[in-house]
Chains A and B, each alone.
Chain A
């Protein structure tokens, strides 16, 4: 590929992810505002945007730690939420097999739901995916930049927002929206119903452990139910 083609693919990637930025920006602002209003070190919350770079897990850490949960529960919850990256990584590996190590490290760092989804939709077949890498990097860098700008803005705005706005409700509301988008079939719906119900019943468990117990029961219910819903 010559430089002009690489550049065209990069620009296409930036363009493909642009409509999604409209959904990412309020999510980033909410994370920032939540971080600013939590009783936690703000610099660490801010740094999580480029150290972790995965919104739902970043918000979950704030949520668990600020609610008095154990650090181990916060880490495990965040890792479980981010485990879907394994799935994306397995698919991405088929596209990046010929790339040098540096490019593969950079591509892995930028791996997010959105960058992965727009790139694999544009290039469904790894065998005929010339231009995939610049396209993906264009999308990934654009998303990264938007995430840093929106979370930083949220943190700066956070302290100025009065509590009467009930912005603490924005966190469950954001998770609720992500949940609705994550339910794809009846097994997924059952996983959510069981996971949520068990988490409510198990809130008395110490260290916020009810969250992980609920999640484990939900995952098991989803897997077992596959044979009924087929």
Chain B
């Protein structure tokens, strides 16, 4: 039930953001301060989602767990190829290798 409410509210809000300026015929521009803030949303939120999951996978800070080097491999692959699939295709095997070795 909770999940449905979350999905529906997010869906309505996301559609509203998609339609807002299209609905206004493109006559109104995004306020400059909001436009500047929007530029940093993606890096800030994605890092806030990623870093805790990688450096504290079991809930406690642990820089020496296998997720860290595997994530570095995936990040390098994404940076070199510009492709999300490449990050998954290299990062996951790197993790399996590390887990097999240790």
Contact = CB atoms under 8 A, between A and B. Distances in A.
B40 A188 contact: yes
- Interface size bucket, B side? 35 or more
Interface of B: 1-11, 13-15, 17-30, 34-56, 61, 67, 70-71, 74-75, 77-79, 82-89, 91-92, 95-96, 99
A10 interface: no
The 6 A-B pairs with the shortest beta carbon distances in the complex, nearest first, are: A93-B26, A218-B44, A222-B40, A196-B51, A196-B47, A177-B87
Contact of A75 (B4, B6, B86): B6
Contacts of B86: 177
A159 interface: no
A30 B26 contact: no
A191 interface: yes
A5 interface: no
Contacts, number: 292
B43 A48 contact: no
A78 B8 CA distance: 12
B18 A203 contact: no
A30 B63 CA distance: 25
Contact of A51 (B8, B21, B53, B89): B8
- Interface size bucket, A side? 35 or more
Contact of B2 (A65, A96, A166, A215): A65
Given A170-B92, A200-B61, A219 B44 contact: yes
Q: Interface centre among B26, B48, B87, by most A CB within 10 Å?
A: B48
A131 interface: no
B75 A77 contact: no
Contacts of B35: 87
